[in-house]
Amino acid sequence: MVEAQAGDTITVNPDEIHDGLGRQGEPRQWHMIFLTEEALSQLNDVHPNKAEFTLPVNRSKGAFLLTKKAFSVLQSEGNDSNEVEQVLMLALAQQLDRNQTNNPSVVQSRSREVQIAIDMICQSWEIPLSLAGLANATGTSRFQILRRFSHEVGTTPYAFLTQHRLKRARDMILLGVPLAETAVACGFSDQSHLTRKFSRQYGVTPGSFARGATS
């Protein structure tokens, strides 16, 4: 028998018997992600037949925060497939990791592969960049470059790219470039895509930011 508290994450392997009993008289609420065998093989380097959740209740803060982020991204309006892929991969890796830690080590220098990925993002920020593309350029798997990048930079390649694009968009808005033109030039699918990301990052819409810059 295991017991989960607020802030824990729960994992169940296929064919494992579980009842999910709550405390008597207390309400309970679940948010669940079900992964098919195909999804599992796409989100991790471990073969589905060898992948196993070894912690039915995971008390790692890092695992909880990544899982919470995965739910948020999956439920957000107009979510980006690249963002979903990367967040789910990291959340799954935390749940499959037998050696959990809440205190990641400090990275003193960046590896060659991560620096290549950073250079690609900084030089080609206006065009689509996928995790597969970064993996091919660095001679790694999608999972390897994602884990290494996140460990050394502190965020996913998608989030790093988005921040870079938003900084460019902010500069263009300050120069008076129309929002629709700014969105396309900075690699966003359209103006509404730019608006969602800009508002989340800066707390104001691009339109409000533009009006404030010219007032």
| Apex 19 CA angle, 16 and 25, nearest 5 | 160
Which fold would CATH assign to domain 161-214?
Answer: Arc Repressor Mutant, subunit A (1.10.10)
pLDDT value at position 96? 82
Contact 13, 95 (CB under 8 A): no
pLDDT value at position 13? 83
Contact 131, 45 (CB under 8 A): no
pLDDT value at position 102? 43
pLDDT value at position 105? 45
Q: Which residues of the chain have pLDDT under 70?
A: 17-20, 98-108, 214-215
Q: What is the pLDDT of residues 63-94, one digit of tens each?
A: 888 888 888 888 887 778 888 889 888 888 88
pLDDT value at position 108? 54
Q: What is the pLDDT of residues 176-191, one digit of tens each?
A: 999 999 999 999 988 9
Which of these, 154, 161, 166, 89, lies nearest to 119 by C-alpha position?
161
Question: At 70, is the secondary structure helix, strand, or coil?
Answer: helix
Q: What whole-number distance in Å separates Cα of residue 181 and Cα of residue 184?
A: 5
Domain edges within the chain? 1-98, 161-214
pLDDT value at position 47? 76
Q: What whole-number distance in Å separates Cα of residue 67 and Cα of residue 61?
A: 10
pLDDT value at position 99? 54
